[in-house]
């Protein structure tokens, strides 16, 4: 049951308190915190939330498992706020390790970015940290731990920034958080890291033509939609004919998902929070750290919503129900998965997006696995491809072009903190993103306006790759 507006205002235990102007921030007491969803007509200019990172037991559907999370469910509490508003989030660290919270995709004040060693010291076990930041842009974002391999446990949640003047019309919206989930099965994320450190090849040989080679390193025991395993899936209910906005978020660590809704086509409206010219597809591929918003007008029936773990022969699964009748099995055949897949080249930024001037400078970066035994992972330069500490220096106000050439045999979702870039393509008009998939032997070029001074992480969003060294810096001055 959702807390009422009144309980929010008075901050009852286990709920978040709205900020009251002039009275300072009041946090709900006790963990876990939850936030009531605020409708588009709502007025959540400012929100406050308590995020307690702690070992916990969660119900994956049909089984309870031990994990680390923000509260007692996966994902952690969904945070909703109006664009231009302020998020005040108190992190309480009840983990046995350091942690932080990173606000993925938000053009944030750098001190609040949650990047250990870049924007803050990690928060020690038993410690607290108060994040407080303005959300400048509407869109679909998420938050996650940024220490070690903690992202591959369950330390993540959705962050939805609503547009007070939302131009899209739709009847309902669903947040769909995808995850590959490893913990609690005897396999530990740190063990995976250790294995990869000695041998960069996938322990399993999982291939994907869509991704141009190796699909990833880990065949996970569970793939989740909103924290539910396929055996006891999330059920989204609506009336037939209704138009629904799905906010798709890939919070996984090592898995791209191919998403389709049986019996429907998807109209893609946003990627990484920013609008694109609507494009209809049967399915789309979403890399780790990416977000896609799609509109769907629902048919009458009961339908499988499938997120196939690309190249891994497994899937995350949910049910969309607009009428009575048996739910499809998790193994349901979904022909849309094998039809036309959204391509990056299909996406054109909405005309409201300022194209900006041509950058005067291009910086070429190389993604690779190298080193004597093939065990170094880097975002290097053409001259020094094995350099694990590349810093791209920019001037405040400068427009810069970055190119990413993938010289490795595995795909990489490249993510830049604190900025949104524009994917470059011939003829112009590429989409705005903060995370972009670069396949083997491919070069992706992006333009950005350096207008948010600080030292920012630029890294692969495969948590194992970034931990092994696929991490560079964009810094000012
Ligand atoms: Cu989700 Cu360094 O980012
Ligand atoms: Cu990578």
C-alpha–C-alpha distance, residues 160 and 158, integer Å = 6
For ligand 1, say whether the CB of 104 is within 6 Å of any of its atoms.
yes
Average pLDDT for the chain? 88
Residue bearing the CA closest to ligand 1, atom 3: 104
With contact defined as beta carbons under 8 Å apart, do 200 and 377 qualify?
yes
- The interface pTM score, or ipTM, of the predicted complex is 0.98
pLDDT at 157: 98
Least reliable range by pLDDT among 236-240, 334-338, 378-382: 378-382
Closest CA to 463 of 227, 183, 204: 183
pLDDT at 203: 60
Sign, CA dihedral 322-324-329-335, equals: negative
**What ligand has the least distance to the C-alpha of 434?**
1
**CA within 13 Å, CB half, 415:** 26
Closest CA to 397 of 368, 360, 431, 439: 360
Least reliable range by pLDDT among 188-197, 227-236, 446-455: 188-197
C-alpha–C-alpha distance, residues 48 and 34, integer Å = 10
Q: What is the mean pLDDT of residues 52-72?
A: 90
pLDDT, one tens digit per residue, over 279-290 is 999 999 999 999
pLDDT at 321: 98
CA gyration radius for the chain? Answer: 21
For ligand 1, say whether the CB of 465 is within 6 Å of any of its atoms.
no
To which CATH superfamily is domain 361-476 assigned?
Answer: Cupredoxins -  blue copper proteins (2.60.40.420)
**CA within 13 Å, CB half, 188:** 4
Per CATH, 5-166 and 173-342 having the same topology is answered yes
Give, for 419, the enclosing helix (H) or strand (E).
none
Residues of the chain by 3-state class (helix, strand, coil), percent to 5:
5, 45, 50
pLDDT at 1: 31
pLDDT, one tens digit per residue, over 126-142 is 999 999 999 999 999 99
Band the pLDDT of 184: cuts 50, 70, 90: low
Band the pLDDT of 68: cuts 50, 70, 90: very high
Token pair, residue 85, equals 């508003």
Token pair, residue 464, equals 């194992």
pLDDT at 333: 97
Tell me yes or no: is domain 173-342 CATH 2.60.40.420. Answer: yes
pLDDT at 24: 39
Q: Which residues contact 317 (CB under 8 A, 6 or more apart)?
A: 223, 225, 230, 233, 304, 305, 306, 307, 330
Report the separation in Å between the CA atom of 166 and the middle of ligand 1, taken as the mean of its atom positions: 27
Q: What is the mean pLDDT of residues 204-230?
A: 90
Whether the per-residue pLDDT at 2 is higher than 80: the answer is no
With contact defined as beta carbons under 8 Å apart, do 328 and 245 qualify?
no
Whether the per-residue pLDDT at 371 is higher than 60: the answer is yes
C-alpha–C-alpha distance, residues 146 and 236, integer Å = 30
Band the pLDDT of 186: cuts 50, 70, 90: low
The single residue listed with the structure tokens 């495969």 is 462
Whether the per-residue pLDDT at 15 is higher than 90: the answer is no
Q: What is the mean pLDDT of residues 65-72?
A: 91
pLDDT at 257: 98
Whether the per-residue pLDDT at 21 is higher than 70: the answer is no
* String of DSSP letters for 33-69: -B-----TT---SEEEEEEEEEEEEEE-SS-EEEEEE
Residue 371 falls in which region: left (phi positive, over 0), alpha (psi -120 to 50) or beta: left
C-alpha–C-alpha distance, residues 314 and 221, integer Å = 9
Report the separation in Å between the CA atom of 401 and the middle of ligand 2, taken as the mean of its atom positions: 20
Strand pairing report for 361-370 and 435-438: unpaired
Report the separation in Å between the CA atom of 437 and the middle of ligand 1, taken as the mean of its atom positions: 14
For ligand 1, say whether the CB of 415 is within 6 Å of any of its atoms.
yes
Share of the chain above pLDDT 70, in %: 87
Token pair, residue 186, equals 């005897």
Residue 305: count other Cβ atoms within 10 Å of its Cβ.
Answer: 26
For ligand 1, say whether the CB of 144 is within 6 Å of any of its atoms.
yes
pLDDT at 283: 98
With contact defined as beta carbons under 8 Å apart, do 470 and 378 qualify?
yes
Band the pLDDT of 63: cuts 50, 70, 90: confident
Provide CATH code, domain 5-166: 2.60.40.420
Residue 110 falls in which region: left (phi positive, over 0), alpha (psi -120 to 50) or beta: alpha
Domain map (residue ranges) of the chain? 5-166, 173-342, 361-476
Q: What is the mean pLDDT of residues 456-473?
A: 96
List residues, by chain if needed, whose CB lies under 5 Å from ion ligand 2. Answer: 412, 460, 462, 465
Whether the per-residue pLDDT at 233 is higher than 90: the answer is yes
Strand pairing report for 257-261 and 207-208: unpaired
């Amino acid at each position: 049951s959702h807390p009422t507006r009144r309980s929010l205002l008075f901050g009852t235990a286990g709920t978040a308190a709205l900020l009251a102007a002039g009275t300072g921030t009041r946090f709900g007491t006790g963990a876990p915190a939850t936030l009531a969803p605020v409708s588009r007509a709502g007025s959540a200019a400012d929100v406050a939330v308590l995020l307690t990172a702690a070992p916990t037991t969660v119900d994956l559907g049909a089984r309870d498992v031990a994990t680390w999370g923000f509260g007692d469910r996966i994902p952690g509490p969904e945070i909703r706020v109006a664009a231009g508003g302020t998020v005040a989030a108190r992190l309480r660290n009840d983990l046995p390790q350091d942690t932080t919270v990173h606000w993925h995709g938000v053009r944030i004040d750098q001190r609040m970015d949650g990047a250990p060693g870049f924007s803050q010291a990690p928060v020690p076990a038993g410690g607290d940290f108060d994040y407080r930041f303005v959300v400048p842009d509407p869109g679909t974002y998420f938050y996650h731990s940024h220490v070690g391999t903690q992202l591959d446990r369950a330390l993540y949640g959705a962050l939805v920034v609503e547009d007070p003047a939302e131009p899209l019309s739709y009847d309902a919206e669903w947040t769909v958080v995808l995850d590959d989930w490893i913990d609690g099965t005897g396999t530990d994320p740190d063990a995976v890291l250790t294995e990869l450190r000695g041998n960069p090849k996938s322990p399993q040989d999982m291939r994907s033509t869509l991704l141009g080679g190796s699909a990833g390193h880990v065949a996970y025991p569970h793939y989740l939609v909103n924290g539910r395993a396929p055996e006891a899936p999330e059920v989204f209910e609506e009336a037939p004919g209704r138009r629904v906005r799905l906010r798709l978020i890939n919070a996984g660590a090592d898995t791209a998902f191919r998403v389709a809704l049986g019996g429907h086509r998807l109209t893609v409206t946003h990627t990484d929070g920013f609008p694109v010219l609507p494009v209809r597809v049967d399915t789309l591929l979403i890399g780790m750290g990416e977000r896609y918003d799609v509109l769907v007008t629902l048919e009458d029936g009961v339908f499988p919503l499938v997120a196939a773990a690309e190249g891994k022969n497994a899937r995350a699964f949910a049910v969309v129900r607009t009428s009575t009748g048996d739910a499809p099995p998790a193994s349901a055949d979904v022909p849309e998965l094998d039809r036309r897949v959204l391509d990056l080249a299909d996406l054109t930024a909405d005309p409201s997006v300022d194209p900006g001037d041509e950058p005067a400078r291009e910086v070429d970066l190389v993604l690779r696995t190298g080193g004597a035994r093939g065990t170094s992972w880097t975002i290097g330069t053409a001259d020094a491809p094995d350099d694990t500490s590349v810093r791209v220096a920019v001037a405040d106000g400068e427009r810069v072009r970055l190119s990413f050439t993938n010289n490795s045999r595995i795909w990489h979702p490249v993510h830049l903190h604190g900025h949104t870039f524009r994917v470059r393509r011939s003829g112009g008009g590429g989409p705005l993103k903060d995370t972009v998939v670069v396949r083997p032997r491919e070069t992706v070029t992006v333009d950005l306006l350096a207008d948010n001074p600080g030292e920012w992480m630029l890294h692969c969003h495969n948590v194992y790759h970034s931990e092994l060294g696929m991490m560079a810096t964009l810094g000012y001055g």
